Structure 1
Amino acid sequence: MDPARLALIRSGTKDETRSTGSGYLIGPRLVLTARHVLVNRETGELWPRISARIGHFENGPSHTVRAELLWTPADDLDVALLRVDHATDTPGVVWGRPAGRVPLPYQGLGYPKAAAADRREAEYLRGTLAPLSGSGRHYVLDQGPAPVPGTDGGNAWGGASGAAVFCGDVLVGVVVQEPAAYGARRLLAVPAHSFVQDRDFLDHLARHACASPELVTIGVPAPRAAPGTERTPTERTLEKLLLPLFTDPAARTAYARELAGELGYDTDDYAPTTADLVALLQAHPRAHAALGQALAPRVADPAFRSRLTAFLTQARALGCGPLLSPAEFDELLQLLAEIRREQPALLHLAAHDALPYAVLPDGLARPRIEEDELGPTIEALEELPDGERVPDGSPPVPALLRLVEYVGASVDGERQHRLRAWSQQTADRIGIHVDALRERRGDAAQWAKRRRNSLVSRVVMELEHSGTADGDRYRCRIRLDRADGTRRILKDPSSEPKTPQQAARALAEAVSAARQEPGQGDHVPWVTVVVDRHGLHLAVDEWEPGAPEDLLPSWPIGADYQVSFSCPEFDRIAADRAQDQERRWKKGRTAVLVTGPACGDSRKLMHLLRTEHRDTARAVLHGPADQRQSWLQVCLALGVPVVLWDRDATGYEDAERLGELAPAGELDGLAERVRVFRSHTAAHPEERRARPSLVWEPDSSHPRTEQLHLRDPWRGTHAS
């Protein structure tokens, strides 16, 4: 990289500069840059005036010359070739293509906005180029310096577009983009190999006396050991453990060369000693696991098996790298990606049941894991131990293998076979005792059988007002209740308080996860919202999660799901409530109490519920709002499990608004009738209709909600 070839590109109108970028002089009159630096983003047309300031302050004064566009690729690659008015005595450049898996150091020069004071100043770009990152269309450049974005919200690296990317003295690409998600720590570059063989590009080079590009393959040489006096205690320990594995120096050299090549290093003239092999193991995070995989065919010898297990165990204890080799990691990633596409919730479900006491990675905090989260999630799971007992003398079963067994037990056919084969091979390589893995596989099979026979009966969302000064926010815990009485927490309330929209979105994710479980079917799920008695006024059924990318109109959760309240606080207030509910469910499913003017006050209602309606399981509350609220508490305290009311009603004259729901009709279909009613209301907001609220305490044959001690909710929005 020659600083004297640095170019500051400006484009715009005759009177004003409208775009600024970087470039590099690749020939006497040719400057390579990014195409978007030259284009009016509003119209897509080229700016009429382009100039280039050539040079770097260390080489003396720079000079500005006019420039014109010569070439851009036909396939929309974001690169361009300019011709400048003034020729310099500049030879051609060496072009290259990174190879292998190992990140390469890179460098470049540009004029980013973050480095500008009164004028644009040169900035030395540097970091690592990761050949395995990205889609292949761009190189991923992980930055060393990472400036803070400006107050105007623009890209910190804006202006660096067009900068040439060098690995050593070889030009490998052109900077074109700054991904916003990485906070100025990452840039993207167009690879040189994607355009240097373009016929028109080659013609322009020839016309300007530049040699035809020949791409040089660039690799990272395999690491070498430091002198003996400079080696660390860890290096010396690993060297002692390796010596018994390689009694034949020729075998050691062959294994080390093969390993270095597999890891992506350049192995030309590489004849490693045992100390060099240790340096290789420490240079690449997965090298020791890859070596173990390469030596696995020899584990039939019990003595060699013992030495290999000791080496792998000690290497991990010394922090030399994660559990899996590159090949093992890639194979598992591919298998889990295939399963995730068909069952997005399975990995989350299996992880929470297989590893109930582990601190799981962030990718498993939500019911559905995204595909781009799989790799980081596997990496995090590699570090989790499995604390269960194993046969003496063998290493513990890693938590990741236990999870893989649970996932494998939940899929069928070829995928199950491939997952179990992967697990077996990895366990053999690590030295896991056969009985320990067999025990984990048996646990997984029993778990999968129970899960197939126990469908989700309810999705339960427990709400507690956060009491914060910023108003309408709630702590939210979401769980799945199953028909066999078991439960699983999907969303813990330790996270930040949520707005109604965020809570509704979390609920929608949980319902989606429940629907995707095997055998669950595509029925309309039942959502129970657990609140304290002051939360019964909330219009939770009207909360909207928002449509992805605004593709669909906003839609309330009560129109998608059967949403009802549960208020376990009354279990504490009324000691006999549980027994009363059980009796009413058994004896009074067909009976209905409908309040009217004759019901009078709360004392008269209590008299009815203790005499002629002692076994009634359902109450429909009409009347003034203040009277209705007191009646609701009487009904719930005396164990009435199903209560329906119109939270928008002002008096008895509004009773007919609930008539469409057939409130005294068949009980088992009431929740679905309410859902359909809410859906019609959402579709016709111009109509004045009821706003039904429904309490439905589950039958004793279903899982009961837990006792909650919630603070009084703040009275504000979403109140009747």
Structure 2
Amino acid sequence: MEPRRLALIRSGTAGQRRSVGSGYLIAPRLVLTARHVIEDKDTGSDWPQIQLRVGHPGEGGTVPAGATVVWKHPRGLDVALLLTHDTVEAPGGPVRWGRPVGKAPLPYEGLGFPLATADEEREVEYLRGELPLLSSGSRDLYVLDQRLAPDQRADGRKAWGGASGAAVFCEDHLVGVLIQDDQSYGNRRLRAFPAYAFVQDDGFDALIRQHADGPPQLVDIGASLPRARPPADRTPAEQDLEQSLWHFLRTPETCSFHARSLAHELGYQVPAGYAPSVADLMALFAGHRRALASLSGTLAPTATDDADRTRLTTLLTRARIAGLGSLLSLAEYERLVHLLNGICEERPTLLPRAAGESLRYACLPEALSRTQLSIDELGQVVEELESMSDSEQVPDGTPRVPALLRLAEYVAAAVGGDEAAELREWSTRVAGRAGIHPTALAERREDARQWAARQTSPVSRVVLELTGVPASTDERYVCRILVARQDGTHVALHESETVPRTPEEVAACLRAAVESAADEPGQGDHVPWVTVLVDRQGLHLAVDEWNPGAPNDIVPDLPIGAEFRMTLSCPDMSTLVATRDTHQRRRWRSGHPVPLVTDQSCATRSRLRVMLETSHRDATRVVVHGPREQRVLLLEVCLALGVPVVLWDRAAEGYGDATKLRQLEPVGTLAELPERVRVFRSKTFDSPSATATARPALVWEEESSHPKPESLQLRDPRKGVQVL
């Protein structure tokens, strides 16, 4: 990596900068970057103005240059080449292109201009960390685990914004282009587009031949064997592990055999004359977290008596506590991810649901606290669960059952068939190698069977809590979502980060939660009801009109309130009016008498109060008409006096607009009112006479208060059991 080839890219129009990114000068005048850095995301066209500053401020200064897009990947992949208007030389030797191979993680590095470094001007950030090849995921992108990462920004903007386009290097070979961060991992993980996917494109190859000395040549790069450290540099835990291992290795020849086999298994490049010692074996443990568990797979069969088995189990447990190894060997990890991959693809809601039940009081990974688990998150979830136990009783002298095995048993019980048999075989093998008592595993397996045999309670409500962000320059909200079931249980859907979202982004999150709940076993044709928790000011938000966008390229978009039954709830009113809940329960139990439809005879708060405390003392429903300023006051009186269902037209200008609500039968059957409102919203959406159509808003307060996301700390604690 040559720092003087770094490029800061600013794109936009003649009057406004619209995009900032990074790049790398791969040949004289030729800059490699990410495609989205130089494209208008709304139109897909290139920005007309692209300005560069090539060089590193601390390595001889920078050179300004204009540039033009000369190549973009023909299949629309996120990579592009820029040609500078003037000659810009590429210092150092020619770029060497690499393709990481094997299984062992590779150290990587790069240079970029993330927003986190910005004060008045962007500063250079040295990116460095590890490229774990086994975490590539389903999109064939490299995963980059960043050693140092910025905190989340308070303004909601991405801290890594501007680093896109940075060249990624392993062993001084350019192996990819940084294209995005991964919000599932809290700024600690980035994604890069691999070089092997574009360097052999004819257009790319032709430009390299024209501006460089020759065509790009890809070289396979494997992780080098870690170097042994002197005994004095090893920690007491490492020294203790070394001494314990000699009980099983016994001779240098046996040690060398195991170390060579282990290095091959872990995916390192092993020289022909490699004759490793115990120090080299310890270096493998330090360089690869799965090395010790992988070695124990060959040592466990040699532990033929109870004393040796206990000794090996103790060794593995103490090593994990000291951070010298993982629960799973490399082969076990790969096998589990492979088995869960197909299950996750076909049933993305199953793993979060099974985790919520099997590990009810554990602090789950963020990805398992949502409704769906994507394949790309699967590997990281497995790694996070490896460090957790289920903390239930086990026979004396044996380790606790890992949480990961308990979850695997619950998933197996849910899927059944061949997949279940393979998962159970996997957990049995892992338990045997790790010294887990068969009785303890059998108990967890029986728990899983009983859970799977129970009918899942359908989801009754999806609860969305909205909080406005006053300091935001545009309309943004912090949202939290909870899924409530008919049996009274509920679970909060935790996000990896709490950031202000636009109305469209909130609607997209809500739709994902509702659709996931609708797909659960036992849900049938029942579509969950969406309740939006708001404060007094939020009662007038047109949340039902927020549009999450089209679900795909074929089906057109709809506002969220036209897709699902959506009603409002204002828990704050119960805090302001102590008697409100009592009145509300009385009205629900009254048998739903004739609703009150307001007119000019009850146009003031005092007149409405009299009616709600006399002739309509038990009314469950009020339909509010009149001018907007008047409706605001009357609505709050209704809620304060415990009226649980209130309907109004937020577009009405006066009493003359009352007829616009007649299509949805505002005083018809109460139980069907939310569905009639949804159908009305669907029919009137995007109609030519939209200005002459009602925009119904509906408050519906349940007899029992809705569970709130922040009230779940006792049931779903964020601090849970994470001990070995």
What is the TM-score with the length of structure 1 in the denominator? 0.70
| Alignment-mate amino acid for residue 698 of structure 2 | S
Matched, 1:695 2:696: no
**Corresponding residue SS for 2:400:** coil
Unpaired stretches in structure 2, ≥5 consecutive residues: 10-20, 47-53, 61-70, 118-123, 152-156, 711-724
**Corresponding residue SS for 2:595:** strand
Other-structure match for 1:285: 289
Matched, 1:657 2:663: no
Contact 1:559 1:682 (C-alpha < 8 Å) held by counterparts = no
Displacement after TM superposition at 1:275 (Å): 3.4
Contact 1:480 1:514 (C-alpha < 8 Å) held by counterparts = no
Matched, 1:517 2:520: yes
Instruction: Return closer, same or farther for 1:425/1:566 CA change in 2, 3 Å cut-off.
Output: farther
Other-structure match for 1:602: 609
Matched, 1:630 2:631: no
Other-structure match for 2:623: 621
Q: Equivalents in 2 of 1:548, 1:431: separation in Å?
A: 52
| Alignment-mate amino acid for residue 478 of structure 1 | L
Q: Equivalents in 2 of 1:345, 1:261: separation in Å?
A: 37
Q: Equivalents in 2 of 1:508, 1:459: separation in Å?
A: 13
Q: Equivalents in 1 of 2:624, 2:196: separation in Å?
A: 75
Q: Equivalents in 1 of 2:520, 2:614: separation in Å?
A: 46
Larger deviation: 565-574 or 430-439? Answer: 565-574
Displacement after TM superposition at 1:606 (Å): 2.8
Displacement after TM superposition at 1:555 (Å): 0.7
Displacement after TM superposition at 1:310 (Å): 1.4
Matched, 1:239 2:239: no
By relative contact order (CA 8 Å, sep 6+), the higher-ranking structure is 2
Other-structure match for 2:691: 686
What is the TM-score with the length of structure 2 in the denominator? 0.70
| Alignment-mate amino acid for residue 246 of structure 1 | L
Quick one: percent identity of the two aligned structures? 36
Other-structure match for 1:547: 548
**Residues 263-289 of structure 1: CA deviation (Å, up to 9, x unaligned):** 112233223333332222122111111
Displacement after TM superposition at 1:676 (Å): 0.8
Matched, 1:345 2:355: no
Larger Rg: 1 or 2?
A: 1
**Residues 682-702 of structure 1: CA deviation (Å, up to 9, x unaligned):** 24323332624243535xxxx
**Residues 362-397 of structure 1: CA deviation (Å, up to 9, x unaligned):** 223432233222222222222223322222101111
Give the alignment's Cα RMSD to 1 decimal. Answer: 6.3
Instruction: Return closer, same or farther for 1:523/1:195 CA change in 2, 3 Å cut-off.
Output: same
| Alignment-mate amino acid for residue 447 of structure 1 | W
Q: How do 1:455-470 and structure 2 match up within 5 A?
A: 455-456=458-459, 458-461=460-463, 463=465
Other-structure match for 2:488: 486
Q: How do 1:491-506 and structure 2 match up within 5 A?
A: 491=493, 495=498, 501=504, 503-506=506-509
Other-structure match for 1:313: 317
Q: Equivalents in 2 of 1:20, 1:93: separation in Å?
A: 17
Other-structure match for 2:336: 332
Q: How do 1:532-571 and structure 2 match up within 5 A?
A: 535=536, 538-539=539-540, 542-548=543-549, 552-553=556-557, 555-557=559-561, 559-563=563-567, 565=569, 569=574
Instruction: Return closer, same or farther for 1:41/1:396 CA change in 2, 3 Å cut-off.
Output: closer
Displacement after TM superposition at 1:319 (Å): 0.8
Contact 1:644 1:693 (C-alpha < 8 Å) held by counterparts = yes
Q: Equivalents in 2 of 1:460, 1:92: separation in Å?
A: 57
Instruction: Return closer, same or farther for 1:687/1:123 CA change in 2, 3 Å cut-off.
Output: closer
Instruction: Return closer, same or farther for 1:297/1:580 CA change in 2, 3 Å cut-off.
Output: same
Other-structure match for 2:120: none
**Corresponding residue SS for 1:490:** strand
**Corresponding residue SS for 2:615:** helix
Unpaired stretches in structure 1, ≥5 consecutive residues: 11-18, 46-52, 61-70, 116-121, 611-615, 637-641, 699-703, 711-720
Contact 1:566 1:695 (C-alpha < 8 Å) held by counterparts = no
Q: Equivalents in 2 of 1:537, 1:292: separation in Å?
A: 59
Q: Equivalents in 2 of 1:706, 1:167: separation in Å?
A: 56
**Corresponding residue SS for 1:679:** helix
Q: How do 1:286-301 and structure 2 match up within 5 A?
A: 286-298=290-302, 301=305
Instruction: Return closer, same or farther for 1:469/1:451 CA change in 2, 3 Å cut-off.
Output: farther
Contact 2:638 2:646 (C-alpha < 8 Å) held by counterparts = no
Matched, 1:260 2:263: yes
Instruction: Return closer, same or farther for 1:282/1:668 CA change in 2, 3 Å cut-off.
Output: same
Q: Equivalents in 2 of 1:434, 1:398: separation in Å?
A: 13
Other-structure match for 2:679: 676
Q: Equivalents in 1 of 2:403, 2:395: separation in Å?
A: 16
Instruction: Return closer, same or farther for 1:578/1:130 CA change in 2, 3 Å cut-off.
Output: closer
Instruction: Return closer, same or farther for 1:545/1:291 CA change in 2, 3 Å cut-off.
Output: farther
| Alignment-mate amino acid for residue 313 of structure 1 | T
**Corresponding residue SS for 2:691:** coil
Q: How do 1:81-480 and structure 2 match up within 5 A?
A: 98-104=100-106, 131-132=133-134, 134=136, 167=171, 172-173=173-174, 179=180, 191=195, 218-247=221-250, 249-268=252-271, 269-298=273-302, 301-452=305-456, 454-456=457-459, 458-461=460-463, 463=465, 473=477, 476=480, 478-480=482-484
| Alignment-mate amino acid for residue 340 of structure 1 | C
Contact 2:463 2:482 (C-alpha < 8 Å) held by counterparts = yes
Matched, 1:573 2:579: yes
